[in-house]
Structure 1
């Protein structure tokens, strides 16, 4: 057992306080008892002195020992008496002494004191006496001294009893206190054991509730268990984050390596003398360089979104503009595809005002349109809904393709996610960042994106944003929604402006005026 143990220190402090209390109480009791006994001796000596002052010294000289011994008959606390008669000149004219059997203390010298006042004096051997001087009626004085040896004997026995009683009490209470402290510290022992197990790596370990409800230990146990829950959750999240980071690094390495190998291979072929294939080689290098540039730009965009720095400028806008653009993009990519413009879920389209960065949100819609074009059969119908739903501004794109595989509704927004887990892409495939960018850009606007697959097939991507009270009305909105066909003014997809407005990761399909990209 270590001396530094809290249990030992608590017990030592308790026993020290107990001992101090016992000692103080014994001293106080002994002092009061001695004072009482001495006062009683003083009263007896005073009465005896008054009596002896009226007796002739000659009678005392003639008295035998038995008569002298009877002087102590009523003095229960006096074991030794000394009487000395003095004449007017202070000379002794008679002396009497009574004592019990055994060694007797040496009486004090017969020194006159103030008449009628009891004083404490010391005998020749240093023993304690009480002495009083009483004037005699015929002249002279009588000095009566009583030994306090009987009082000292009583006090000695009292101290012995108190010491023995205190020692037994300290021993018994110390034993009981040790058992009580061990019982009280048993919940803390459980906390210590749990802490040791957790330090060894067992994050699932919890502290058992052994203390009474509402006690300090019970509250501490609850707080520690709550803290351990958060630590375990943090460890799980960190492990998942590290696993995602490892997958991310591996996927980035693969995606960067593929175009780099294409560029290096084409350059090496050219250096080996393939002069007749210069144009095709340069086109291959240009294509792979663009692919590499798009990947790096998308990664940088995601990094800026992670740092909340990708939406620098916002202004009031209406999602109807983006809905018209999405309809026109789909028609431009696949003229035979029927595209319907409705409200959310059903009904006519309506205003969907919000505060946002129109260029970034246009990129979101373009990614979703490219997703529909890449993953749904040609000519399959698409519904675009825009308006308010549950107090939010909503834009949704619902296709009639194969839908989202079970359990993939959240995973499809992960970076580099592939539904089949494969790394290999066809020539038109992207890097798997499109939907990640969609979710990050929507989140940067304070919104959220939902992906659902209705029972009848197909997939619906629904964008939800905090709505504002009023939407800015534009000619592009009214003309696009009213006409139901053609490219809306300001959509950014007119043939004369499409080259300058196509963003990173977007291409212009041959024969089309729309900016689009392939998104997984």
Structure 2
């Protein structure tokens, strides 16, 4: 059953990061455009107002006698240019208009008292007409106590400002639209590695620890994030693989230990059963003659020796598993090979057994190692060949060079029946024998008869930092090749477990 997904956090934003970034960018630019538009409009309005004020001051300061005459005549003239002129007679309350627009509602509303008080004399002021038209008005003095009032229509300026505002609005809308599209594309491309990170995380959550985030430019935050994530994922994968390997190794070790204990118990039970049976025969008086007693004692002694050899082999493998140090010293492999051949000839004088030293040996085949253990390696290999091949099968022990000049080879080859692929693959396992039967045909106490000889060879060679290989096929004999380094076992001379 699939576990339910955890609820989404309530405080988190539901808006995608890409939309948030684009909206923030567009909003900031919109605020900037708005502030710019307001500042531009305000500056333009101030500029236009200053221009109107300068024009009014110039008109007031350059007023001619004709202006006073027009005021005295009282004749009103229509001017379509948006200009206004009027005068305030002495002791009068109303301004006399003598120049301005055709519509009376468009004339500026002026209070004679304000004009007489000089409110318009020094600084132009803005006044409105009945129809809402805005005028910029200023007053000045005329001969005879008259006051001149002039004004300029601000509608043209207002139209210019409104047009500018419209242009700014259109341009701002176009800029924001282009910015939104370009920002969306830019943010999407910038966040594409994060999408890869998301897909990688989903794949890892599904169990694929080999996934990695595509590497990016280390000068960018996303590139550095990708590198950090890849480093973290590599360490996680390594730790997970190591844990899996450790668990598999533990399961394999447990299975091997269980099989080892079962096989050791069986191998020890066989001679013990024989010894107990022979003793029972003697106790019951089934052995009558001295010759039978002698034969019975020999069988008991033989089974006891067999059991002792098995115990010695088990103790040796236990010591190797504990990585006990070796007694390292220079060892001549040619000498050990010669002794192994000599011992084999003493056991089976009629068998063709030969020693061969290859001519390509550039130096004396001396390695650093434990002489007693290396002697046991060659002895077990030769004894294995003697045990599992016919009496007339040739056995050849060869000492030669290796493609690696720091390595020496020792090969033990026989012309026996050979082994199949499955038997060859398991030849170095403890208590494994090609013959499924757990009893020996002749009951002789021979090395390797318990199925531990080749396992001891593999453990001892590994303890010396070397390797042992088997080359065989049915009907083609078997060749065991031991490779040992001249500098000897790894530092400390500790034996790794078999």
TM (norm. structure 1) is 0.60
Displacement of 1:50: 0.5
Displacement of 1:129: 9.2
Q: Deviation digits for residues 214-250 of structure 1, max 9, x if unmatched?
A: x989x979x79x9699899879967864664454134
Distance 2:106 2:305 in 1: 128
Distance 1:84 1:246 in 2: 121
Unmatched runs of 5 consecutive residues or more in structure 1: 74-80, 470-520
Q: State which of 17, 24, 27 in structure 2 corresponds to 1:9.
A: 17
Question: What are the residue-to-residue correspondences of 1:162-241 with 2, within 5 Å?
Answer: 162=168, 166=172, 174=180, 196=202, 199-200=205-206, 241=249
Q: State which of 321, 340, 343 in structure 2 corresponds to 1:303.
A: 321
Distance 1:128 1:162 in 2: 24
Displacement of 1:9: 0.7
Secondary structure at the residue paired with 1:337?
coil
Summarize the Cα distance change of 1:44–1:366 in structure 2 as closer, same or farther, 3 Å threshold.
same
Distance 2:430 2:339 in 1: 26
Summarize the Cα distance change of 1:354–1:62 in structure 2 as closer, same or farther, 3 Å threshold.
farther
Distance 1:348 1:417 in 2: 35
Secondary structure at the residue paired with 2:16?
helix
Displacement of 1:85: 8.5
Displacement of 1:328: 2.4
Q: State which of 458, 461, 464 in structure 2 corresponds to 1:445.
A: 464
Secondary structure at the residue paired with 1:300?
helix
1:400 aligns with 2:400: no
> What corresponds to 2:338 in structure 1?
324
TM (norm. structure 2) is 0.63
Displacement of 1:382: 1.6
Superposed CA RMSD: 6.0
Q: Answer yes or no: is the 8 Å Cα contact 1:333–1:373 preserved in 2.
A: no
Question: What are the residue-to-residue correspondences of 1:17-416 with 2, within 5 Å?
Answer: 17-55=25-63, 58=68, 61=71, 67=77, 70=80, 72=82, 155=161, 159=165, 162=168, 166=172, 174=180, 196=202, 199-200=205-206, 241=249, 244-245=252-253, 247-259=255-267, 290=308, 293-294=311-312, 296-304=314-322, 309-344=323-358, 351-390=364-403, 391=405, 392-406=407-421, 409-416=424-431
Displacement of 1:398: 1.6
Displacement of 1:457: 2.2
Summarize the Cα distance change of 1:408–1:456 in structure 2 as closer, same or farther, 3 Å threshold.
closer
Q: State which of 448, 461, 465 in structure 1 corresponds to 2:480.
A: 461
Distance 2:152 2:193 in 1: 64
The farther-off stretch of 434-443 and 150-159 is 150-159
Distance 2:75 2:371 in 1: 132
Distance 2:107 2:325 in 1: 110
Q: Deviation digits for residues 253-275 of structure 1, max 9, x if unmatched?
A: 32243256569979999999995
Summarize the Cα distance change of 1:46–1:172 in structure 2 as closer, same or farther, 3 Å threshold.
closer
Displacement of 1:137: 11
Distance 2:280 2:299 in 1: 12
The farther-off stretch of 266-275 and 363-372 is 266-275
Summarize the Cα distance change of 1:6–1:243 in structure 2 as closer, same or farther, 3 Å threshold.
farther
Summarize the Cα distance change of 1:399–1:62 in structure 2 as closer, same or farther, 3 Å threshold.
farther
Displacement of 1:13: 0.9
Secondary structure at the residue paired with 1:413?
coil
The farther-off stretch of 133-142 and 239-248 is 133-142
Distance 2:85 2:282 in 1: 145
> What corresponds to 2:290 in structure 1?
none
Q: Answer yes or no: is the 8 Å Cα contact 2:334–2:365 preserved in 1.
A: yes
